[in-house]
Structure 1
Amino acid sequence: MSASSPGKFEWGQRVRATADLFNDGSYPEQPENALLVRAGDAGEIVQVGSHVETETPVYLVEFGEHRVVGCLEDEITPL
């Protein structure tokens, strides 16, 4: 993440999903559009990065059962 676009959340922070999160094709073993995380599920940020072209912060969040899902800032909130 660049200094010009700091993220709202930090590595190791506990968060909650603000919306249902569905498979966008990132989980080939799951059907596309399958529900991965329910709104309200808790998780922990395990990596922070950004989209290269837009510098949009992207958070990898582990939501139980070792399921890591990429989330945007409007898809999570602090616990």
Structure 2
Amino acid sequence: MGLEREQDIEIRTPPRFAPGERVRATRHIKNDGTYPGKEIGENLVRKGDEGYVRDIGTFLQQFYIYAVEWIDRGTVVGMRARELMSLETARTPCSAEIGAGFNEGTAG
């Protein structure tokens, strides 16, 4: 196993979000066939929807999966960290964003 594969193991670091934390979806999420009662390809979460992390699990002993409760939709959907942003912690722009003229707090 090469080094690049070992770097992909997200669970070697602490989870990015905590249970009870308020989050926003950063992209649309469609049913990939693992969500019961919905058609494959049906929208489960829309970009910009807000919810709360209910629980944290893992997938393939490699990735964190955040069970997010979407209050307005009345559903709980498993999400990856890259699909979420916290609404409770101040977002610090990286140097590339500062140079590009982005404002703090802008979703990217």
TM-score with structure 2 setting the length: 0.65
- SS at structure 1 position matched to 2:19: coil
**What residue in structure 1 maps to residue 70 of structure 2?**
63
Report the counterpart of residue 16 of structure 2 in structure 1.
Answer: 8
- Displacement over 3 Å in runs of 4+: none
**Residue 53 (structure 1) shift:** 2.8
Query: In the TM superposition, what whole-angstrom CA distance separates every residue of 1:30-67 from its partner, at most 9, and x where no partner exists?
Result: 1101001100000000001222432x111000012320
Q: Which of these residues, 31, 38, 50, is aligned with residue 30 of structure 1? A: 38
SS in 1 for 2:12: coil
Cα distance in 1 for residues equivalent to 2:56 and 2:35: 19
TM-score (normalised: structure 1): 0.86
Q: How many residues align?
A: 76
1:47 to 2:63 alignment:
no
The unaligned stretches of length 5 or more in structure 2 are: 1-10, 88-108
**How far apart are the structure 1 equivalents of 2:13 and 2:58?**
9
More helix by share: 2
Q: Tell me the C-alpha RMSD between the 2 structures.
A: 1.5
Higher relative contact order (CA 8 A, sep 6+): 1
Indicate which of 73, 82, 87 corresponds to 1:74: 82
| Alpha-carbon distance in structure 2 between the residues aligned to 1:48 and 1:4 | 14
Aligned to 2:104: none
Cα distance between partner residues in 1 of 2:25 and 2:64: 16
